[in-house]
Amino acid sequence: MRFQLDAEEREFESQVEAFIQAELDPELQRRVALSLEVPRAMRDDWTRKLNQVGWVAPNWPVEYGGTGWSMRRRHQFEVLMRKHHAPETQGFGFNMVGPAIIKYGSEAQKAYYLPKIRSAEIQWCQGYSEPGAGSDLAGLSTRAEIQGDHYCINGSKIWTSGAEQADHIFLLVRTDPDAKKQLGISFLLLRMDSPGITVEPLLAFNGKRLWNQVFFDDVRVPREDRLGEENAGWTVAKNLLGNERLMVSRVAENKRVLSRVKALFDELGLEADDQFKKRLGTIEIRLASLESMALRLLSKFDQGGHVGAEPSMLKLQGSQLIQAQDQLLFEIVQYYGLPVDGTLRRESSGPIGSPETEMIASALFHHRGYTIAGGASEIQKNIIAQQVLGL
């Protein structure tokens, strides 16, 4: 496993950087750099630009508009995108339901959905968690009763990120209440404007609408909008991430935040004391070791090796590292980081901190959720203990 780029990778880097330079709207770049809200139209515009050059779905097979890149090449692309503060494309579509449609979808589903994901026409949300089912997802109880050629859905989903903007939802529902819990679940694709769906906001610690609770009241869905076989939704859900589960290290995002930590320190003209140097050095060492572990696993996969539960280590470390960086950023700017989202302003002269500091507390609160989202840290530790360490 090597860290240095070879000639071909350097050439790729120049190509990607030239594209970013030419195509990335500076206002969009500024918003991403400062963790400000990115309007959907701006993000969609960037998605379409990536689609035009064929880079929008690095993880999809070439025949469906993907790139056919190795995992190592995907990692390099991701690092470059985050380094230049390009926005992330919508993960629910590109990394979750898109690959699932490719694997389990009918030809009609593939022909309908995949081009619309690539062109940003359809934005998705994920309907998995319920008030009574999170880590123990198979315990879900939202019911889809079969009524002729339709399902009739009743129940609710919670922590549904982005539901207020989404056009479609992918949903796990119980279709056979008498079967063993993993065996009675189906996977449905439906429009968010279906009659009977209500979306209620849930606010995060920073006052933002990070999630929603989505209620289903006699929502009718054609049976042909099921993905995969009836009662086999658990298999679809388990395979949903495919290779994507290897890309959980947040190395690219951690590198981006590290560059922000250093830039901000310089911009504010601060002197580094020994304690600060030690903390920054520790973060850099942890990041280097995380990247080396990620590259080792990605290279192993590219060479046909089996990667088991090891990505759980990447998920755990990557989320903890970004939180350590947030804490450091917050300590650098101190009370200038408090305006949170710019709503706390001096009467006449705008936000209290500079635009560079405005969103730091908000990002710190937001990233706390990384401990839980995508599988809580305790669950990752259980997996590592049992499947990696064999305890």
- List interacting residues with ligand FAD (CB under 6 A): 125-129, 134-135, 159-161, 369, 372-373, 376, 378-379, 382
Q: How far is the CB of 134 from ligand FAD (least distance, A)?
A: 2
Dihedral angle, C-alpha 138, 143, 144, 145, nearest 10 °: 130
Q: How far is the CB of 99 from ligand FAD (least distance, A)?
A: 17
Q: Which is nearer to ligand FAD, 79 or 97 (CB)?
A: 97
| Burial classification of residue 117, based on how many CB atoms lie within 10 Å of its CB (0-12 exposed, 13-18 middle, 19 or more buried) | buried
Q: Which is nearer to ligand FAD, 159 or 265 (CB)?
A: 159
Q: Which is nearer to ligand FAD, 24 or 257 (CB)?
A: 257
| Burial classification of residue 379, based on how many CB atoms lie within 10 Å of its CB (0-12 exposed, 13-18 middle, 19 or more buried) | middle
Q: How far is the CB of 241 from ligand FAD (least distance, A)?
A: 13
Question: Is residue 138 within 8 Å of 182, Cβ to Cβ?
Answer: yes
Q: How far is the CB of 172 from ligand FAD (least distance, A)?
A: 8
Q: How far is the CB of 353 from ligand FAD (least distance, A)?
A: 25
Name residues whose C-beta falls within 8 Å of residue 66's C-beta, 6 or more positions apart in sequence: 57, 58, 59, 60
CA atoms within 13 A on the CB side of 59: 25
Q: How far is the CB of 377 from ligand FAD (least distance, A)?
A: 6
Q: Which is nearer to ligand FAD, 237 or 332 (CB)?
A: 237
Question: Is residue 169 within 8 Å of 158, Cβ to Cβ?
Answer: no
| Burial classification of residue 348, based on how many CB atoms lie within 10 Å of its CB (0-12 exposed, 13-18 middle, 19 or more buried) | exposed
Quick one: angle between helices 311-333 and 251-267, nearest 10?
10
Q: Which is nearer to ligand FAD, 75 or 245 (CB)?
A: 245
Q: Which residue number has the CB closest to ligand FAD?
A: 134
C-alpha–C-alpha distance, residues 2 and 298, integer Å: 12
C-alpha–C-alpha distance, residues 163 and 171, integer Å: 12
Q: Which is nearer to ligand FAD, 117 or 333 (CB)?
A: 117
Number of C-beta neighbours around residue 263 at 10 A? 12
Q: How far is the CB of 372 from ligand FAD (least distance, A)?
A: 4
Question: Is residue 228 within 8 Å of 187, Cβ to Cβ?
Answer: yes
Q: How far is the CB of 25 from ligand FAD (least distance, A)?
A: 27
Q: Which is nearer to ligand FAD, 336 or 370 (CB)?
A: 370
Q: Which is nearer to ligand FAD, 357 or 380 (CB)?
A: 380
β-strand partners of 124: 168
Q: How far is the CB of 69 from ligand FAD (least distance, A)?
A: 27
Q: Which is nearer to ligand FAD, 72 or 209 (CB)?
A: 209
C-alpha–C-alpha distance, residues 31 and 12, integer Å: 26
C-alpha–C-alpha distance, residues 87 and 76, integer Å: 16
Query: Kind of pairing, strands 124-127 and 168-174?
Result: parallel
Phi/psi for 146 (5° steps) reads -80, 125
Quick one: which of 332, 333, 341, 335 has its CA closest to 362?
341
